[in-house]
Amino acid sequence: MKRYLSLALLLSTSAFAQSGPKVDLLKGLKFREIGPANMGGRIDDFAVVESNTNIVYAATASGGVWKTVNSGISWKPVFDDQPLSSIGDVTVSQSEPDVVWVGTGEANNRQSSSWGNGVYKSGDGGKTWTNMGLKETAHIPRIVIHPANANVVYVAAQGKLWGPNEDRGVFKTTDGGKTWSKVLYINPDTGVNDLVMDPMNPDTLYASAYQRRRTAFGFNGGGPGTAIYRTTDGGATWKKLSNGLPKGEMGRIGLDVYRRNPNIVYALVESEESGIYRSEDKGETWVKMSNTNARPMYFSQVRIDPNNDQRIWEAGVNMAYSEDGGKTSSPTA
């Protein structure tokens, strides 16, 4: 009985629609924004206040910045009042922990990776934010703050994903972001993907340049512009490091420096000879440790245990862990 009643209602409704007055069903509807496309997205970065490790900031691909003050038991969004939500990096000043920097624009290479509008600074632990410029950098994967002077800040800018632009490389400020100098620039197609500082000599930094381009028909993640550079004078001059690294074109490179002995540097390199590379002389020479480099177009990061230079973590889509400096590794996630 219910089946026949439903059919009768359907036929009567259809007949009314054909013979009755015309009704514009869309007239009362208005377009509204329902993005971002990939919701919160990936966790691109996090920053810990080392003097109080209960306080952690997390940067998301398209969900803004979040903060916990109880070691992750609960989280609060702290960037929702800003005009965008795509984040590539969050960094805390360890000498002034209320000073927090955010680099906007996720730096991974997805078609859904949203771009940003520069760098933001908070002086009150994320309660309020000010845009400090570099608005055309598009994607910022790393910010490094001088350990003793919070006004000295370096920004690694990857630049546009879908085309060339000049606002990419390494930028430096010595006045807390009021003014900026571009201290490392390769070319309009090559930005800087990672940036690490010698913990015992803040004038020494390592930068991984990364040439990339996404188009409607594909993605090119690498080229002759990709390389590792080192400065020993706070960015005034840079030296290209290549002895022991792959001879051909390279793609994404992740870097880290060992805290207890900054002569030791690791690089996670994408190339035809992909793998973990280790240097024991500040990058002058490199030795390949393994072939590990899982899906580098996403994260491609390497982290060294602060108390053991043989214990490292390699991050791609999956996390790998090594106890022997990268010679062998096991997946952890």
Between 66 and 39, where is the model more confident?
66
What are 288-308's pLDDT values in tens digits? 998 877 667 777 889 999 999
Q: In the predicted model, what is the mean pLDDT of residues 227-236?
A: 98
Position 211 in a domain: no
Q: Are 78 and 87 in contact (CB under 8 A)?
A: no
Cβ neighbours, 10 Å, residue 81: 10
Q: Are 161 and 218 in contact (CB under 8 A)?
A: no
Cβ neighbours, 10 Å, residue 3: 7
Q: Nearest 10 degrees: CA dihedral of 79, 81, 84, 89?
A: -20
Alpha helices in 87-237 (DSSP H): none
Residue 61 has pLDDT above 70, yes or no: yes
Q: In the predicted model, what is the mean pLDDT of residues 163-184?
A: 98
What's the confidence (pLDDT) of residue 313? 83
Position 193 in a domain: yes
Position 329 in a domain: no
Q: In the predicted model, what is the mean pLDDT of residues 84-98?
A: 97
Report residue 7's pLDDT band, with 50, 70 and 90 as the boundaries: very low
Q: How far apart are CA 197 and CA 204, in angstroms?
A: 6
Position 229 in a domain: no
Cβ neighbours, 10 Å, residue 48: 15
Q: Across the strands, what pairs with 288?
A: 277
Q: In the predicted model, what is the mean pLDDT of residues 114-140?
A: 97
Q: Are 269 and 250 in contact (CB under 8 A)?
A: yes
Alpha-carbon torsion (314, 203, 189, 113), positive or negative: positive
Position 16 in a domain: no
Q: How far apart are CA 82 and CA 9, in angstroms?
A: 50
Provide the CATH number for the domain around residue 134. Answer: 2.130.10.10
Provide the domain count of the chain.
1
Which structure tokens are listed for 154? 């370096």
* pTM listed for this prediction: 0.87
Q: Are 51 and 95 in contact (CB under 8 A)?
A: no
Q: Across the strands, what pairs with 137?
A: none
The residue range of the domain holding 172 is 39-198
Residue 35: phi and psi, rounded to 5, are: -80, -175
Between 232 and 34, where is the model more confident?
232
Q: Are 58 and 75 in contact (CB under 8 A)?
A: yes
Position 226 in a domain: no
Q: Are 281 and 302 in contact (CB under 8 A)?
A: no
Residue with tokens 């960037």: 79
Between 101 and 23, where is the model more confident?
101
What's the confidence (pLDDT) of residue 4? 37
What's the confidence (pLDDT) of residue 53? 96
Q: Nearest 10 degrees: CA dihedral of 79, 83, 89, 91?
A: -50
What are 246-268's pLDDT values in tens digits? 999 999 999 999 999 999 999 99
Position 27 in a domain: no
What are 192-207's pLDDT values in tens digits? 999 999 999 999 999 9
Position 253 in a domain: no
Q: How far apart are CA 332 and CA 321, in angstroms?
A: 6
